[in-house]
Amino acid sequence: MKIFALSDPHFSLGTPEKGMEAFGAIWREHHKTIERHWRAAVGPTDLVLVPGDLSWAMRMEGALPDLHFIGALPGIKVVTRGNHDYWWTSKAKVRAALPESMIAIDGDAIRVGKVAIAGTRLWDLPDVSFAEIIEWMPNPFGKEKAKPTQVEKEQSLGIYRREVGRLKLALAELEKIAADMDAAMRIAITHYPPCSADLQPNELTALFEAHRIRHVVFGHLHAVSPRRSPAPFGERGGVAYHLASCDYTEFRPVLIDEV
């Protein structure tokens, strides 16, 4: 089984008024580009990790065309929630609505063949900026983000702490799953990056190392050039960190391993 990653497709098949073209020509009909590359690379028994920002829709009815589009692509798709997935209400509702070939994880873990996968959304890391690796991107909404106030910073830290708790729960469940398995590969998927681009150690990298995670796959960052040198992220402490945002992977599912 090959293991691929592709994040942040931001599809809008059910909400065409919100197309990603507003963010630049590379996004024009990007669902067709993704489909072409995906079908060329991924077989029906392969695994594809899609850690969030799946659809622009606000409600489940609007997200269904996007979910069925992903569901119809080859492979087993394991997905988690991004900050733009407003249609993702409860995990039970999402699981009931997903096509058969898609599995949702959100603060928990599952097993696919010999692979154990933990997943959660996560949040902005305190005191980590990615400004240096993000290239200019058109802002179709015309408003620059204001600098966060002290109150906003504290709120953000509160969400981050809660999300770390959810990641710990997911990793504890992964341990249980992996204990029952022979030669399990351990993977974590998070929507937000869990470390800085230069892999400075933090409490999350320590957690992944303690749980013997082999790969961490995430997205959320856009407008990072695939030609950037040195490439951001990479490997530290036996854990490989993969930025899989689809504009970074040039709309291709990226092969990360094979079991």
Q: How far is the CB of 132 from Fe ion (least distance, A)?
A: 19
- DSSP line for 29-91: THHHHHHHHHHHH--TT-EEEE-S--B--SSHHHHHHHHHHHHHSSSEEEE---TT-TT---H
- DSSP line for 157-173: HHHHHHHHHHHHHHHHH
Q: Which is nearer to Fe ion, 8 or 108 (CB)?
A: 8
Reference 219, options 256, 190, 195; nearest CA is 190
Q: How far is the CB of 245 from Fe ion (least distance, A)?
A: 6
Q: How far is the CB of 8 from Fe ion (least distance, A)?
A: 4
Which stretches of the chain bind Fe ion, using CB under 5 A?
A: 8, 53, 82-83, 220
Q: Which is nearer to Fe ion, 81 or 214 (CB)?
A: 81
The closest residue (CB) to Fe ion is 53
Residues in the chain: 259
Q: Which is nearer to Fe ion, 83 or 202 (CB)?
A: 83
Q: How far is the CB of 24 from Fe ion (least distance, A)?
A: 14
What lies within 8 Å, CB to CB, of 257 at 6+ separation is: 2, 3, 185, 214, 215
DSSP secondary structure code for residue 107 in this structure: S
Q: Which is nearer to Fe ion, 107 or 115 (CB)?
A: 107
Q: Which is nearer to Fe ion, 75 or 193 (CB)?
A: 193
Q: How far is the CB of 212 from Fe ion (least distance, A)?
A: 27
